[in-house]
């Protein structure tokens, strides 16, 4: 995975991850109203294929799209890139920021610490 996704590409990936695989119509059905034009989503899917995030099977005259990158893979890379860009690669700095901004509680941190201890 060499590329960052645009917001529109990421949104399309979320819909594809949700359904697992599907035709253009299936993906379009996931969008809230007002839905984008089918040509717009088709172009996004082409770009995602070029970036090796999706592929498709040809069934008759239609393409059935499926993800090549899992949501977990992309999330992990995105978080790592975010922490590197904004917190000098320090997860400690990232968590400290969240605590300072009241985005994470001491109870949440204790729960995470307990989970980490159990996984050791």
pLDDT digits (tens, 9 = 90+) for 16-70: 999 999 999 999 999 999 999 999 999 999 999 999 999 999 999 999 999 999 9
Instruction: Give the residue from 44, 67, 90 where a domain finishes.
Output: 67
Could you say which DSSP state residue 30 is in? H
Question: What is the number of structural domains in the chain?
Answer: 2
Locate 40 and state its tokens. Answer: 């717009």
Q: Both 42 and 93 in a single domain? A: no
Q: Both 59 and 45 in a single domain? A: yes
What contacts 31, CB < 8 A, 6 or more positions away?
A: 15, 41
Q: Both 81 and 55 in a single domain? A: no
Measured at the CA of 32, the angle between CA 51 and CA 61, to 5 degrees, comes to 55
Q: Both 60 and 23 in a single domain? A: yes
Q: Both 61 and 85 in a single domain? A: no
Q: Both 57 and 106 in a single domain? A: no
- pLDDT recorded at residue 1: 56
- pLDDT recorded at residue 46: 98
Q: Hey, is 58 helix, strand or coil?
A: strand
Under a CB-based contact definition with an 8 Å cutoff, are residues 91 and 83 in contact?
A: yes
Q: Both 61 and 14 in a single domain? A: yes
Confidence of residue 119 (pLDDT cuts 50, 70, 90): confident
On whether residue 2 sits in a domain, the answer given is no
| Residue-averaged pLDDT of the chain | 93
Q: Both 62 and 92 in a single domain? A: no
Q: Both 57 and 77 in a single domain? A: no
The domain in which residue 63 lies consists of 7-67
């Amino acid at each position: 995975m060499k590329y960052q996704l645009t917001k529109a590409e990421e949104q399309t990936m979320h819909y594809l991850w949700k359904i697992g695989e599907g035709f253009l119509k299936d993906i379009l059905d996931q969008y809230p109203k007002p839905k984008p034009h089918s040509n717009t989503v088709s172009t996004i899917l082409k770009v995602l294929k070029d970036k090796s995030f999706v592929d498709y099977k040809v069934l008759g005259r239609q393409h059935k799209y499926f993800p090549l990158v899992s949501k977990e893979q992309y999330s992990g890379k995105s978080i790592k890139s975010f922490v590197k860009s904004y917190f000098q690669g320090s997860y400690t700095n990232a968590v400290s920021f969240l605590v300072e901004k009241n985005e994470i509680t001491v109870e949440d941190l204790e729960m995470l610490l307990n989970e980490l201890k159990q996984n050791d």
